[in-house]
Chain A
Amino acid sequence: MDRISDLITKSPFGPIQKHMEKANESAAELMTFLESVVNMDWDRATQSRKKIVDLEHDADALKAEARGLVPKSIFLSVPREDVLELVKRADEIPNTIKGISGLMIGRRMEIPSEISVTFMQFAAEAAEICKVASNATNQIDELFQFAFGGNAAEEMQKLIRQLDSLEDRCDETEIILRTQLFDIEKDLPPINVMFLYSVINKIGELADIAEQIGHRISLIASR
């Protein structure tokens, strides 16, 4: 017997939203991790690092689930490439965070006190972008319910605009941070400085990825 239930399949956005939530949790945990690093509390940092690794594993499983829900035989109401791209980008967040935490804990990196305040602000702003991207992902449900129109679409565009302005602010903070580091770099061990720049780059990447997620969602949301 043909069952009508075979026809209507599970939406891939459920796992994608959970996936994005993991990414967001991971970003929040990064803040805890960085605080511990700034305070040179390596025990706490190790615990945090472990959580970050676990979250990355969870995210991988959810990524696989989300991808499994969009085989070629499934007709999607939104372009498949956008969905797959969204999954791919969302997966880069926990990966990047894992990379940052691995690098810092492996080298027992110290954040010079002169830049620590700006550094934490920069990281917090990047994490905030991840959070808004996760909110936007959750908003996809509403979007579907109201068939891509009306208030839900407007709400979504508002979130995307918020994402853009957060990214701008984050970029500015990054410039300030780089200037501050440049001012003191000659007094620091060169290798350490190199890796500090590398961490700053990666946090900047994090913000970029989260912003791109927003743009993918905005593509999905537009007709």
Chain B
Amino acid sequence: MDIIINYGPYLLISGCVFGFFMAWGIGANDVANAMGTSVGARALTLSQAILVACIFEFAGAYLAGGEVTSTIRKGIIDPSLLADTPELLVFGMLASLLAAGSWLLIASYNGWPVSTTHSIVGAIVGFAAVGISVDAVSWDKVISIVSSWIVSPLMAGTISFLIFRTVQHLILNTDDPFRNAKKYVPAYMFLVGFVISMVTLLKGLKHVGLDLNFTESLQYSILIGVAIALLGSLLLKRVKNISQQRGDVTFDGVERVFAVLMIFTACAMAFAHGSNDVANAVGPLAAIVSVVQSGGEIASKSTMPWWILLVGGIGIIAGLAMLGYKVIETIGKNITELTPSRGFAAELAAATTVVLASGTGLPISTTHTLVGAVLGVGLARGLSAIDLNVVGRIFLSWLVTLPVGAGLSIIFFFMMKGIFS
């Protein structure tokens, strides 16, 4: 108790700094995969992608980032065991941020495959199980999180497979693909707007003063979907059926229609990414803040101050603006095979899956979900070649990231405990 009262402001500031740094890292590194697909498909230029990412990552983090943040903050650890020693929770969360942050730094420097989500979850489970007690971990929740890591790529893959099949059936395999593209693409646009807003509204926007029940959410979502489809139709009017050269890729009319659609799925992807990944940075921060502000009380009932999501959102944008654009550019240059008709299917499937996970408070890896979605398009014969080594590396990253994240956070945890006692 004394530690919290005596050192409260310092702990709070360290938490903010580490959390911001973590968010910065997500912006610098993680966002690239979500946006790189759109740049690679030449649906967005690099600067357009940055703009979209800034706006929608922030919106996603602020509007829909609450559930996952709450899971990271108090879902993985059972706080009731820590009622007498709240400082341990603060140390642990600081240690987790440090552990995940430094591990990500080392791994990205060496080009090893890691996931932000897995690092932070591993770190929190690690310090709680070893530093406090094995019972302090809500293993049920951990199991549901880990299974969501398996389910999310599979789900995204299935959705993208089905979406691309409908594209083949309704548009590509017809006598006049261009005309049919113009006819059906607005329906996909509706889907983008509807799914994203439905999940976000259902989950609740109380913190921005919007409290809707199911029917209202449904009505608003349909309205938003229709509005987006109308906006899209207006944009589509300008697309003529002529081939056009962009970079080293020739776009014929059909792909140009899909490129318009991909602007919308890119926004959805950025929104989804922000809504899920912001928690990796600010979830631990939220735990620290709630303990410190209540003067050492572990108040799991108290609501989270929303400025925390703001810190995360701003951190992501800062990282994106400082380093992220370079990574997006690199990725975009290396994806030449993914055309808009494929890219949109992958993005829509991944965004849907990620937003659903965000709504249910499950921290998942956006990158792995997107990998699953791209595989789905590949299985529907939408891509000529896919490197399955990447899938193997994902499993490897699981095996490595979880113990390393846990080990590091245990070390940092005991160091901090030693310093303050």
Contacts and interface: CB of A to CB of B under 8 A. Distances in A.
Interface of A: 1-13, 69-70, 73-78, 144-151
Interface residues of B, number: 54
Contacts of B285: none
Nearest to B371: A7
Nearest to B386: A75
Contacts, number: 129
Nearest to A11: B384
A74 B29 contact: no
Interface of B: 29-30, 32-33, 36-37, 40, 107-108, 111-115, 164, 167-168, 172-175, 177, 252, 254-255, 330-331, 334-339, 367-368, 370-371, 374-375, 378, 380-390, 393-394, 397
Given A12-B384, A149-B168, A5 B334 contact: yes
Contacts of A148: 173, 381
Contact of B108 (A1, A11, A145): A1
In terms of DSSP, what is the predominant structure of the interface of chain B?
A: helix
B381 A77 contact: yes
A4 B37 contact: yes
Contacts of B378: 75, 77
B32 to A, nearest CB: 8
A53 B30 CA distance: 50
Contacts of A147: 164, 167-168, 172-173, 380-382
A9 B331 contact: no
Given A9-B385, A77-B384, 17 more contacts: A1-B111, A2-B114, A2-B371, A2-B393, A2-B394, A4-B33, A5-B334, A6-B387, A7-B374, A8-B337, A12-B384, A73-B388, A76-B385, A146-B173, A147-B381, A148-B173, A150-B172
A149 B112 CA distance: 40
8 contacts: A1-B367, A2-B397, A3-B36, A5-B36, A5-B335, A8-B383, A69-B385, A74-B388
A4 B367 contact: yes
A151 B115 CA distance: 43
Contact of B386 (A7, A13, A146, A151): A7
Contacts of B252: 145
Q: Is the interface of A mostly helix, strand, loop or mixed?
A: loop
A3 B33 contact: yes
B175 A151 contact: yes
B284 to A, nearest CB: 21
Contacts of B37: 4
B387 A2 contact: no
Given A10-B336, A145-B252, A4 B331 contact: yes
A80 to B, nearest CB: 10
A51 B167 CA distance: 46
A183 B353 CA distance: 77
B115 to A, nearest CB: 8
B377 to A, nearest CB: 9
Given A4-B331, A149-B173, A73 B384 contact: no
B390 A2 contact: yes
Contacts of A1: 29-30, 32-33, 107-108, 111-114, 367
Contacts of A70: 385
A7 B387 CA distance: 5
A217 B339 CA distance: 22
Contacts of A4: 33, 36-37, 331, 335, 367, 370-371, 374
